[in-house]
Amino acid sequence: MTKTPPPRDIPTCKGPDPDTRTPRYRAPPGACDAHCHIFGPDAVFPYAPDRAYTPPDAPFEGLRRLHGILGIERAVIVHASCHGSDMRVTLDGIARSGGAYRGVAVVDPGVSDGELARLHEGGIRGVRFNFVRHLGGMPDMAFFERVLEQIEPLGWHVVLHLDAQDVTELAPRIARIRVPFVIDHMGRVKARGGLEQPAFRSLLELMRNDRAWVKICGAERVSSEGAPFHDALPFARALVSVAPDRVLWGTDWPHPNIAGDMPNDGDLLDLLAEAVTHEPTRRKILVDNPARLYWSEEQTA
């Protein structure tokens, strides 16, 4: 397969820190990285011609190596926008994991019920919509509503990748969603705005909805101070205090489009342990909650 030539007007993003530190915190058995990506390799799984960024290759083997260092046994591959709606790279990673990975899809308008059923068989359990401006902004809302109707019988959820200002603007609409919905990266709020900023207050209010989930990852995106990203901790703690049974954590490896300090993934796991000091709650976030959302068939078998 021919490697995709990088168009000159598409920015190239930085790669992850290659020297993952072994975390001090030892994750419990069955721990899950509930937000990570696989990029390429481009020569096998080409990047989409209309992508917003070109990443360095970060293939399945790199993700497995990372999880070996972190002591992570399960993962959720969130299909990356740089691959468009070509799901082959994510389905390949799930298949090669031997049941240890699940996935979240990106789909095109007009996706058929048959295609969604095929994705379900391949280990997909959710669909993601980007609202973030640098990745294309607001999706067509008729398309959005139609896909939510299609995924409801499958027992899937929707992942919402929002800019902070979108949380307040879209909160009434989000609250009406009938399937479970997952807010990425703590709503991408900015720590400098404090816990009382309108976007975060709206996010906390959304989390009182029984269908609402949130990922307390992306500390490097929330932080206004940079590494070690400690100013993101109060936001993670506040979200956990509201809905500990509906919180997920992930590395976000390989950290696309990071403008500031590139995090070390071992440090990020230790940052979670610092944010959540109660070990039974850590287990909920790392093991029980993702198992309920992504491996529910195992719990009902």
Q: Which residues are catalytic?
A: 252
What pairs with residue 124 in β-bridges? 103
- Cβ-count burial 51-60 (b if 16+ within 10 Å, e if not): bbbbbebbbb
Residue type, 51: R
Contact by Cβ (8 Å): 267, 233: no
| 139 contacts: CB under 8 Å, gap ≥ 6 | 129, 130, 131
Cα(166)–Cα(172) distance, integer angstroms: 11
Torsions phi, psi for 233 (to 5 deg): -60, -45
What is the number of residues in the chain?
Answer: 301
Cα(44)–Cα(88) distance, integer angstroms: 10
Cα(300)–Cα(62) distance, integer angstroms: 32
